[in-house]
Structure 1
């Protein structure tokens, strides 16, 4: 929502929010509730007419969708009044301007293209994600997936090799790894006992990964140097992880299906279109930022 639109809506809402209190000051006479108007199909119910130009419920419904979150959360009774006043204000302003500027005409053309393109994209993705498509995408992505080995390790990160060696001596004497990590580790995992959770090959820096690969579960490494400092590494356990269940990757696959469907639809339309392009090497790129061209 543009800054100018926000100003108009903010003004309209301020006026509307103040109406109930003002109405109460006029007296204590209770009025019978107004008879509800029947809502026409397609939002065609006319809510106002400005110099012969209708403003319908449909106009307000669309306007509401474009509101920023701070306005979206307002009650519908407040928004109904505020949006109507906003659109009335926009209408009288639009009627007062007369002939549109060249810049405004171009903006309207671009907005129309954008709205229509979005409508087509919505149409494409509305039917793209089906259970069959999800299963097919899942099979394509994971049918040949080999189980991979994952590691659950912890570490104590210190600045000097000598400190790492001292900690190893303490561990050999029976000290608790997690407690030493909490006390001495300078890494972000220190407060959590040095626990790094589960990770696979390629997720850690090479010297660290090489050390992990040499360990058996329960063992502690010799001091390992990386660009972060010196590590004392403990391998807690390993596991073989295969393909994730479909439900775990459903959302990820749905996004890919939608993206592929849109790309395919766009490419099909491009292939069928008659498009003549100017050689952009003949256009000065600086012209793209020259707003004064729109005023000529």
Structure 2
């Protein structure tokens, strides 16, 4: 399996999952009326044909991308407008005999299979994302976790050694490191008093990292040179990382379980199906993307 296929498949699975869980993602009130209890509730009629709450949910599923740019308070009106337009255009198409054409039959067959795919995804694949499956996947993830030492530091970056030495003298004279960083720093951290947050080994350039990890909490470094200039470093804290809680990573773990379930079930279905692609070049491309 190629990395590109895995990335595309994860994106496709997540995209389908997102469209199927639209009411959760946007919140039920964004699509359904307050207190609405039945998908059969009639919202409007067009030529005597009803448009229901259930129709709005289907429209929301189809128009998930468009809904993201529409304020929540306007989504129901937008969806109902789409459904009214759809009804009048569909009736006009029938009167013109467009429902009797070959292209309509092909499009209808495609839409039927798309709907069945969504139903299968919701009823079979999403059903595999249980609390037990998420818990098991989380436990497997944290079993491989290795604690790492981390430090939290502030720094001041300036172009020359002389500037760094002068600023160090200010701080030793009683000025706070954060104030000095806000005035003299030349990188984006000056807005936060030079705060770099927590980092572990391998995240910073070697001279900076070595100097930071060698400090005691509260200690101020001598000027340290890197390819970016001269740094003063003050160590704020030390800690050892711990595995994230399930609450913190539940969404990511659930998405991974969804992807794994999708890959397993759809892979088994493909293995049992007779799939042939007539064009060899196209077949190779489809295989690269995991379609065969």
Q: Normalising by the residue count of structure 2, what TM-score does the alignment of the two structures yield?
A: 0.69
In the alignment, the residues of structure 1 paired with residue 258 and residue 62 of structure 2 have an alpha-carbon distance, to the nearest angstrom, of 23
Cα displacement (A) at 1:152: 0.7
Q: Closer, same or farther in 2 for the Cα pair 1:87/1:81, shift >3 Å?
A: same
Aligned to 2:237: 237
Q: Closer, same or farther in 2 for the Cα pair 1:111/1:207, shift >3 Å?
A: farther
Uncovered stretches (5+) of structure 1, i.e. residues with no partner = 1-38, 286-296
Contact 1:46 1:54 in 2 (8 A): no
Contact 2:45 2:51 in 1 (8 A): yes
In the alignment, the residues of structure 2 paired with residue 216 and residue 71 of structure 1 have an alpha-carbon distance, to the nearest angstrom, of 51
Aligned to 2:141: 141
Secondary structure in structure 1 of the residue aligned to 2:256: helix
Aligned to 2:115: 115
Deviations 1:81-138, CA, capped at 9 Å, x for gaps: 6455323312233224434777666555544443322222222343223232122112
Aligned to 1:43: 40
In the alignment, the residues of structure 2 paired with residue 258 and residue 226 of structure 1 have an alpha-carbon distance, to the nearest angstrom, of 44
In the alignment, the residues of structure 2 paired with residue 186 and residue 88 of structure 1 have an alpha-carbon distance, to the nearest angstrom, of 61
Cα displacement (A) at 1:72: 5.6
Uncovered stretches (5+) of structure 2, i.e. residues with no partner = 1-35, 286-292
Q: Closer, same or farther in 2 for the Cα pair 1:276/1:217, shift >3 Å?
A: same
Aligned to 2:59: 63
In the alignment, the residues of structure 1 paired with residue 179 and residue 74 of structure 2 have an alpha-carbon distance, to the nearest angstrom, of 51
Aligned to 1:274: 274
Aligned to 1:200: 200
In the alignment, the residues of structure 1 paired with residue 103 and residue 185 of structure 2 have an alpha-carbon distance, to the nearest angstrom, of 61
Cα displacement (A) at 1:239: 0.6
Q: Closer, same or farther in 2 for the Cα pair 1:108/1:84, shift >3 Å?
A: closer
CA RMSD of aligned residues (A): 3.4
Q: Closer, same or farther in 2 for the Cα pair 1:42/1:244, shift >3 Å?
A: closer
Secondary structure in structure 2 of the residue aligned to 1:174: coil
Q: Closer, same or farther in 2 for the Cα pair 1:223/1:269, shift >3 Å?
A: same
Deviations 1:1-34, CA, capped at 9 Å, x for gaps: xxxxxxxxxxxxxxxxxxxxxxxxxxxxxxxxxx
Aligned to 1:88: 87
Contact 2:46 2:88 in 1 (8 A): no
Q: Normalising by the residue count of structure 1, what TM-score does the alignment of the two structures yield?
A: 0.68
Cα displacement (A) at 1:191: 2.2
Contact 1:124 1:262 in 2 (8 A): no
Q: Closer, same or farther in 2 for the Cα pair 1:137/1:46, shift >3 Å?
A: closer
In the alignment, the residues of structure 2 paired with residue 115 and residue 65 of structure 1 have an alpha-carbon distance, to the nearest angstrom, of 11
Aligned to 1:161: 161
Greater RCO, CA 8 A, separation 6+: 2
Contact 2:59 2:83 in 1 (8 A): no
Deviations 1:174-214, CA, capped at 9 Å, x for gaps: 33211110110112111221111112222223332222122
Q: Closer, same or farther in 2 for the Cα pair 1:64/1:147, shift >3 Å?
A: closer
Secondary structure in structure 2 of the residue aligned to 1:43: coil
Deviations 1:51-70, CA, capped at 9 Å, x for gaps: xx955534454235445333
Secondary structure in structure 1 of the residue aligned to 2:244: coil
The alignment of Structure 1 onto Structure 2 pairs a total of residues equal to: 243
